[in-house]
Chain A
Amino acid sequence: MELRRKAGSGARIPTSSMADIAFLLIVFFMVTTIFKLEQGLPITLPRSVAGEKIPRERIAHIWIDKLGTISVDDLVVSVYDIEPLMARKMRENPALIISFNTDAQAAYQVVNESMERLKMANALRVSFTTMPEEG
């Protein structure tokens, strides 16, 4: 018996929905991916109307939560660590702006003490991060 090729019955995989599948994948990965970012501390920022945009590349963050826990570079630090840490950062970038991400309910004295340490480290440009509020 002789096997013969079937006459070309144009067998094609439909490609029109390929983009849908690709989008599905990209959305899936976007949702599930967690980037290694500075997590900081869970805080509720105060609101402001006069807030200005601060250039990101010049920012170093200090996080202070409701209870007064201080975090720099995702490490919980004591107020005494702020001076050497920030002095080192200032040597790397003298134009650095220290951004306070502080919970609106935090006691002011923690912020005040941190600012005193910043003065010692000669890091004098600060910014108080706020949530924009329409006003």
Chain B
Amino acid sequence: MARFRRRSGTSAELVGESAMSDVAFLLLVFFIVSTTFPEIGLPLILPSKSGEVKQVARTNVMQVVTARTGLYYIDIATEPTPLSQLRGLVKERLADNDKLILSLETHPEAPYGNMIEALDEVMLAYEELDTAGVKRDKRISLKMLDVE
């Protein structure tokens, strides 16, 4: 039976190290070129200009008004609703009514960021309902308040 023996005479078996930096560079350049930071945003589909105007029942609309001060008012409430409560309220209404349209109405001089915060809460309400097994189509409408 053949026996494996170490080859006599240590033949210097070296892995070439000189090319290691080349490989490192290649990787570096590859990742620099291929890396793009994703853009995060809240997507929305605007209504078409040519689309017909539909009448909807008042009961199927929930108004979330962002006032000039940046405070939020729901429907025709005179007291502002804190942002932290908005999501819960939207969820309640959405769970009750599958035809509910969220109408985000904003004062022309209200800060854009405050409207986005409200929109974020509305989106989260949809998301949380979705994970709870309540499917609702996103019916969100953006509107600017008419002010005289």
Contacts and interface: CB of A to CB of B under 8 A. Distances in A.
Interface stretch (A50-58, A70-78, A87-95): A50-58
A124 interface: yes
Interface string B108-124: 11111111110110011
A64 B108 CA distance: 15
A14 to B, nearest CB: 13
Contacts of A111: 112
Contacts of A115: 46, 142
A50 to B, nearest CB: 4
Contacts of A109: 108-109, 144
A128 B39 CA distance: 10
Interface string B19-39: 011001100100010001011
B11 interface: no
Interface residues of A, number: 46
B47 to A, nearest CB: 7
A53 B40 contact: yes
B4 to A, nearest CB: 37
B41 A104 contact: no
A99 B41 contact: yes
Main SS at interface, chain B: mixed
Interface string B30-63: 0010001011111111111100000000000000
A102 to B, nearest CB: 5
A26 interface: yes
B49 A108 contact: no
B24 A52 contact: no
19 contacts: A19-B20, A47-B120, A49-B124, A50-B42, A50-B123, A53-B39, A53-B40, A56-B36, A104-B114, A108-B109, A118-B46, A124-B47, A126-B43, A126-B46, A127-B42, A127-B44, A129-B39, A129-B40, A130-B42
Interface of A: 15, 18-19, 22, 26, 30, 46-54, 56, 59, 64, 97, 99, 102-112, 115, 118-120, 122, 124-132, 135
Interface of B: 18, 20-21, 24-25, 28, 32, 36, 38-49, 66, 106-117, 119-120, 123-124, 127, 142, 144
